[in-house]
Structure 1
């Protein structure tokens, strides 16, 4: 017979974790996470109340029924144990006699508590409903008074609880004075604070539960200082060895060394938002790492996070960093969520392992994507937001920051303002093509400085290519472009062609192969898994190093952060930033003297659903025309030209910067900062004043948020080790195994659009794993040339490559 309260029952041995043990442990963890930005007590309050509903007789009977009848357990999630904590705060601290800070505490912390199994709720929705208020005020809870009395008896006395909330009020008031008293858009800031506290709670809850299941203890305090110092010494020794090599004493390498030293010196400055505008090929990755390590040691930052636009950059940059720092255990590559599941109705050990697997960015050095960064702030559910609090007190390097999707620019800027102001993080906007992020309405509040001195002189010294306009009135078709590639191969050994759509890339690949079956031609695409793309790039590099004739055809994924150098680059007309990045793949180290980058307009490309590319191409075309008529800027790769381009680009798309949502006729910004119009409409509808101080539509915004418009599904593919990983997912999986498997599987997954999923499913080419929470591809639907093959006739032998 189980005595006392029950929060969890361990699957392996039946041991009970009491409600008291769980609440106090989660409180301690959440407090530690909240301490980073000065909201230790607020986060702790969420932790100590989140599962107080488990004191109810209904929940206890539910758990005992599950233990007594394992063959027919009750459906998970049928007993609401998350509302009680929010209701305690609302009833105790949201009357007319309570102060404004007390009411805000009950709303922010209460929303986090009631939402910890589903994602934050709307305070006031476009439909003029309040999910939060309905839960804490209207929803009846059986046994509620007994739950409250159990909390006062086992956790905190009523007097101590009142005192704890009073300390939270002092903390919140201080936080306001430090951060938002002088700012506009306070409610948006409060939305981000709510998400931060929610992140602390989710991570603390999942971590404590995982540790209970694994019979381990959580690591409370960050211990990365010594690690960062050791990393810094290894990096500086590596750079010293490079600079001492007589073969590296070129002008460009000396400039690289100078900019690296500038990063080192700059790292002693206070935390802020800085730009690092090292030209392409200037050693940006190692220079930014040098800044990050020195700054982390100097200012006691907890972690270093690289945020990049594409997974291809993660693979190459992370590999280089791991090699130089001689560490593969503490550097995390987080490409994407292999399993997209927000369900808390988990039915077996595999389900539980998925939910609790350590997927929270608790690592000293992290490489991730812009999609994952933005998801941590704005996406729905609980999985992504769990990582948000680890972005505070960090050094965050945005590699190729110009790639922020246009609709997310304002949201991105506000996230950075929060991380700098409240989060105490230091942020590096790192690219050769700095976007004009201070030109938009909702801008970064302040760029605190540029690291590279004499930027114009440095950019001129790195000039290794000329932009040649080959656009025509008729445009280029596949056959003409193929002929042009072969013409270039008469004079050079390596050619890179970058086109805007996968369809025309594949068409060109087939045409060139048919024209010369013996030519080494390679194709890169997001239809390939990360491990596959890495292998392709290795083959291309090998051919280049051996001076063999080689052609690489790619979409824009190769443009940013891939350290590869071709003698000739051909780029389909696009935004000037894309053209500049493409130019960075040509004559990257100046090894070929001076080379050309050709701009063509491919008439077979369909940009109907690629508005940003089409707009960028139109503005770039005008710059080319102006240059041709001696009316514009001569050097299209200059900072002056890029600033002019981005100002024109943002002006052309200014209606899209705030992420407009057609179905509710509001933009994301309006939903997240609250809307007076909704309050007025609420009065007109109900003839009652809206009872809450906060009115943000957090859930509605999250439900509509997608960094990439077209919804994709992650498929695990049978490329090389992918076979074994698929087999392992089919076996017995512990929580620890699941953590390791999810990490490995990222290299063997492809994000596939819904129409492709439908086609593959109809053909029987998709298999379900983990009861439909993970999907894998059959071997015949993957191809060594193209990756995912929806025709189901994939070739897994190297016929072409």
Structure 2
């Protein structure tokens, strides 16, 4: 018997044949969702072909039973053989077949997934003008791989040569059909995302099959039809519960109020729009308009009517994620089927060649990672973008789960500027090829179809009707411009807050950096009223506890001041009598206004816009540019009250703002990579015709064309990708008893399921730290590492009840949560 895996618990053997057929079955199911069943199945079928050799059999046997004689982990290449078989059979032969070019594409797409399944998709053409793909499938000596033996055993035990040829021909037909789905994208763009999808299917199928073997799961895998039927029944039950909840709102004493009537009308609009075909829509409900439940209503009904398998909320801030997830959880009363995923607790090295046959600590970490196989998912913008573009196998494993879904982006204007083009590409793929419907929710819709790589969104796709009238009805504050008159330092701002407390009982101050937030908090700490501090230096559980305290004081009418970074301003259901906002982008001004008089408890209240003198924004480009444009709008309206619709937050002002914002930062939109003097969009597409492309340089140097359809540098692009430019690492903190319990548990012996559960809990007790911050804490002895340095934890002495991790500075991570 040739061995794929040896189970740690009882040394039982999973044969290569059993593993290949099991992975093929799952990969086919994942690929079928976008019409590439056989392309994905082929990659799954051949991914571990290299384990059909005597050298691998001896390697894994020695590693488990005679570790003292074992070869170095990863020293036997078992990933190349399958890709080489596809290349030899379909890329260098069959030139006379009508499907020849599509067979070439099968070899490239499926073959790259195979050779990369323990790392990341290889470059078809690298900055060094070499093809990592060809180096593996064409240039690597067959003798070194025991390639002939592997192929003979595969054809004898798994699938005959004739059967493989028929299977590959069906894969070629699928690629041909896939490429004709949309005329708006280039061939390179289509093949790029097909490659990523197939890779995702193989990775998840491989990890899932291996986990089922390790955990001795005996339940059969549901067919696609059975799975869809189960999901539909589940979502229908959720829809009934939601409608009961919405009906209960009508029983309130103020059911006839204008605001409640408008909320009900917008909710009905969402229900009606759910009947429309799979597409991309905008939902521009004002702050306080019931966006969460209205969008959930759309998602459930649309999924039921159009066969979608899940509803995924993509949210920029942890605080919104937690709040919205809790609101939905209470309605569906089914915690088992709702997943919150907003932190990568495990450090991903990008390569895991050690996962080649036996269980170990690293393998447990890999198998424990969640693959988003849940009907209701709440995750972050960072995690969403990581799925498409981040290195390693951990994130991209989830990509196929984004197909046949309803994907709701809350506060979509928060997509980071350097990822705008990549974000648009991802959404276009999901809409055009992956049968997913997309809803872009925000009160300030960004002009994503204004940029070079446009969002392919049709006109007349706004779900909410009568937007100007609704905006007027929901107006509960006056924006008071102090920013264009003078600047304020922290001492002056503290005095201003004290002055406001003479007139009001609650004040919220939102500033742009953690340093000035901490400084103002210290200046206000001696006030007779209760003062709270909030920033991302605190873990989510800590912030949640503080917000609950603040809400209780507000509910009881007790005096309270809260000083916070931007994390509080988007989607947090909280209402202060007065808000002070340091000037930033117009969308941030709108979000801050949503924390003032949120429910119309008072007559109109004031939101004061200030220019903070001590904020250092030189390295925070997006805030600085947004601040400049917002300031210009304020000056324009002061000079001519009719400009920009006569209102800082009018639809015309918002459109004008985003067009200027994207124009000023046009050089950032395509994710520039300074060390390479290239944009990531160029790396990913290959751009055969572009004069400065690597392809043109290859032709000039070698005087011949690269014999491949694909020329993209996917591995190089992934190596340079990070949503938050200065990459941070997640650290588990000992906040309260639960945080300490999580750290203790992760320091013990756990099986895969237990590890998965603890890692999910750990998301609520993590803080993201920059490398320098982590290094400083480590030098002070404040950090411990778990799982061979893959997981980090903070010692109790390094975490403060007031400040969390007391590392002050300017932080871009305030924008987005991991």
1:481 alignment partner in structure 2: 493
Q: Does structure 1 retain, via aligned residues, the 8 Å contact 2:369–2:394?
A: no
**1:640-655 equivalent positions in 2, closer than 5 A:** 640-655=652-667
1:11 correspondence with 2:8: yes
**1:124-143 equivalent positions in 2, closer than 5 A:** 124-141=125-142, 142=144, 143=146
User: What are the superposed Cα offsets for residues 703-742 of structure 1, whole Å, 9 maximum, x if unpaired?
Assistant: 1111001110110000021100001011111011111111
1:459 alignment partner in structure 2: 471
Q: CA deviation at 1:73?
A: 4.4
Q: CA deviation at 1:348?
A: 6.0
C-alpha distance in 2 between matches for 1:68 and 1:484: 73
C-alpha distance in 1 between matches for 2:536 and 2:69: 44
User: What are the superposed Cα offsets for residues 373-420 of structure 1, whole Å, 9 maximum, x if unpaired?
Assistant: 000001111000000000011000000000000111111111111000
Match of 1:155 among 141, 155, 158: 158
Q: Does structure 2 retain, via aligned residues, the 8 Å contact 1:474–1:603?
A: no
1:272 correspondence with 2:279: yes
C-alpha distance in 2 between matches for 1:781 and 1:483: 32
Higher mean C-alpha deviation, range 702-711 or range 633-642:
633-642
C-alpha distance in 2 between matches for 1:285 and 1:275: 14
**1:220-299 equivalent positions in 2, closer than 5 A:** 220=222, 221=224, 222=227, 223-299=230-306
Match of 1:490 among 499, 502, 505: 502
**1:492-571 equivalent positions in 2, closer than 5 A:** 492-514=504-526, 516=527, 518-571=528-581
C-alpha distance in 2 between matches for 1:71 and 1:744: 38
User: What are the superposed Cα offsets for residues 294-335 of structure 1, whole Å, 9 maximum, x if unpaired?
Assistant: 111111110100000011111111111101111111100001
1:383 alignment partner in structure 2: 394
2:744 alignment partner in structure 1: 727
1:420 correspondence with 2:410: no
Match of 1:315 among 314, 322, 328: 322
Q: CA deviation at 1:499?
A: 0.4
Q: CA deviation at 1:5?
A: 1.1
1:50 correspondence with 2:47: yes
What's the secondary structure of 1:543's corresponding residue?
Answer: helix
User: What are the superposed Cα offsets for residues 163-206 of structure 1, whole Å, 9 maximum, x if unpaired?
Assistant: 11111111111111223xx2342202211110000000000000
C-alpha distance in 2 between matches for 1:405 and 1:575: 13
C-alpha distance in 1 between matches for 2:214 and 2:601: 56
Structure 1 pair 358–681 and aligned structure 2 pair: CA distance change class (3 A): closer
1:438 correspondence with 2:449: yes
Q: Does structure 2 retain, via aligned residues, the 8 Å contact 1:118–1:381?
A: yes
1:409 correspondence with 2:420: yes
C-alpha distance in 2 between matches for 1:704 and 1:399: 27
2:602 alignment partner in structure 1: 592
C-alpha distance in 2 between matches for 1:173 and 1:680: 27
Q: CA deviation at 1:474?
A: 4.6
2:38 alignment partner in structure 1: 41
2:812 alignment partner in structure 1: none
C-alpha distance in 2 between matches for 1:350 and 1:105: 35
C-alpha distance in 2 between matches for 1:658 and 1:343: 26
Match of 2:756 among 734, 739, 764: 739
2:801 alignment partner in structure 1: 784
Q: CA deviation at 1:665?
A: 1.0
C-alpha distance in 2 between matches for 1:597 and 1:72: 71
C-alpha distance in 2 between matches for 1:116 and 1:32: 18
1:701 correspondence with 2:717: yes
What's the secondary structure of 1:625's corresponding residue?
Answer: helix
Q: CA deviation at 1:97?
A: 4.4
2:811 alignment partner in structure 1: none
2:814 alignment partner in structure 1: none
Give the CA RMSD over aligned residues.
1.4
C-alpha distance in 1 between matches for 2:300 and 2:20: 36
C-alpha distance in 1 between matches for 2:69 and 2:586: 62
What's the secondary structure of 1:21's corresponding residue?
Answer: helix
Q: Does structure 2 retain, via aligned residues, the 8 Å contact 1:470–1:599?
A: yes
Task: With the length of structure 1 as denominator, give the TM-score of the two structures.
Answer: 0.96
What's the secondary structure of 2:130's corresponding residue?
Answer: coil
Structure 1 pair 95–350 and aligned structure 2 pair: CA distance change class (3 A): closer
Match of 2:651 among 639, 645, 656: 639
Q: Which structure 2 residue ranges, 5 or more long, are not aligned?
A: 809-818
Q: Does structure 1 retain, via aligned residues, the 8 Å contact 2:120–2:351?
A: no
2:582 alignment partner in structure 1: 572
2:57 alignment partner in structure 1: 60
C-alpha distance in 1 between matches for 2:70 and 2:255: 68
2:787 alignment partner in structure 1: 770
Match of 1:612 among 622, 629, 642: 622
Match of 2:168 among 165, 168, 177: 165
2:179 alignment partner in structure 1: 176
What's the secondary structure of 2:575's corresponding residue?
Answer: coil
Task: With the length of structure 2 as denominator, give the TM-score of the two structures.
Answer: 0.94
C-alpha distance in 1 between matches for 2:336 and 2:563: 34
Q: CA deviation at 1:789?
A: 2.4
Q: CA deviation at 1:688?
A: 3.4
Q: Does structure 1 retain, via aligned residues, the 8 Å contact 2:417–2:668?
A: yes
Q: Does structure 2 retain, via aligned residues, the 8 Å contact 1:207–1:358?
A: no
1:188 alignment partner in structure 2: 189
C-alpha distance in 2 between matches for 1:554 and 1:476: 17
C-alpha distance in 2 between matches for 1:565 and 1:74: 63
Q: Does structure 2 retain, via aligned residues, the 8 Å contact 1:23–1:51?
A: yes
Q: Does structure 2 retain, via aligned residues, the 8 Å contact 1:275–1:447?
A: no
